[in-house]
Amino acid sequence: MSSTNDHAWPALPFAEWEATYDTVHMWTQIVGKTRLKLSPSQNHWWHVPLYVTPRGLSAPGMCFGSIVFDAEFDFVAHELVIRTSDGRQTKVRLFARSVADFYVEYMAALHSLGIEVKISRKPQEFDDTTPFDEDRHHASYDREYVERFRRILLSSDRVLKEFRSSFIGKSSPVHFFWGSFDLAVTRFNGKAAPSGAADPVMREAYSHEVISCGWWPGNRAFPHASFYAYAAPAIAGLDKEKIRPGSAGWDPQVSEFILKYEAARGEGSPDQAVLDFCRSTYEAAANLEHWDTSLVR
């Protein structure tokens, strides 16, 4: 594997950054929940994600009265920067500090800018439901692994945007969901697919037929950073389809196509391996469900 691959696609063993991952996950949820509270609703929850920037992750375009502001996790300078439309800004330093400490300082930073917001303090899609302002046990921040995470986001965002560019139908932006902590892009064929799900989040997310792919750092149940792909509603026979590259395939544990990140970065061209994965999984699902072939140019 070349040094170029190592830089753009650095190793990210789950066990080695698990504590930092958990802490940063909770921090992004606090900012993400602010965007959820202060942004007009959009279909499929497109008003809540964060977006990859050259320096990290950003929550753009939030509004409090006449104040428009954003918040960017700058993983180069290791600070959260909050900027307002009237030229003011404030910063919250990122270091080995508890979620509770971060929460208190972040809310104080918003208050100093004249922004008042109440968010749900309960984590989403996480195996520890300790409220943010009481969470003093997640308090890790390893700069080396945060930098690796940042570079993987940049590379994945770049490749997923290239994949997105060939689709002329409705497609999501490439965005980062702070609940599941993954970077994703979703294609739609325009057909409604009422899921009947009891969970309103899932009901709105999958109100129409979709084929999605993305990158995820894994979790304790599946401790492998991976590229993934799936269709919703589930498609009979999809698990039997052959996809590319050869190291990828259907994983019965998660019921999705998986290309483990370590396998992708071990390819001669990780970029091409990820593109092949996204394109071939889309083709497999679209062919089985008879999507309009003219949607891909």
Residue length of the chain: 297
Model confidence, pTM = 0.96
> Contact, 147 vs 75, CB < 8 A?
yes
pLDDT of residue 201: 80
Measured distance CA(221)–CA(254) in Å, rounded? 10
**Residue-level pLDDT, tens digit, the chain, 297 residues:** 445 688 999 999 999 999 999 999 999 999 999 999 999 999 999 999 999 999 999 999 999 999 999 999 999 999 999 999 999 999 999 999 999 999 999 999 999 999 999 999 999 999 999 999 999 999 999 999 999 999 999 999 999 999 999 999 999 999 999 999 999 999 999 999 876 666 888 888 888 999 999 999 999 999 999 999 999 999 999 999 999 999 999 999 999 999 999 999 999 999 999 999 999 999 999 999 999 999 999
- Partner residues linked to 81 by β-bridges: 72, 91
3-state secondary structure of 252: coil
Q: Which residue type occupies 125?
A: E
Measured distance CA(152)–CA(250) in Å, rounded? 23
pLDDT of residue 3: 59
3-state secondary structure of 259: strand
Q: Which residue type occupies 290?
A: H
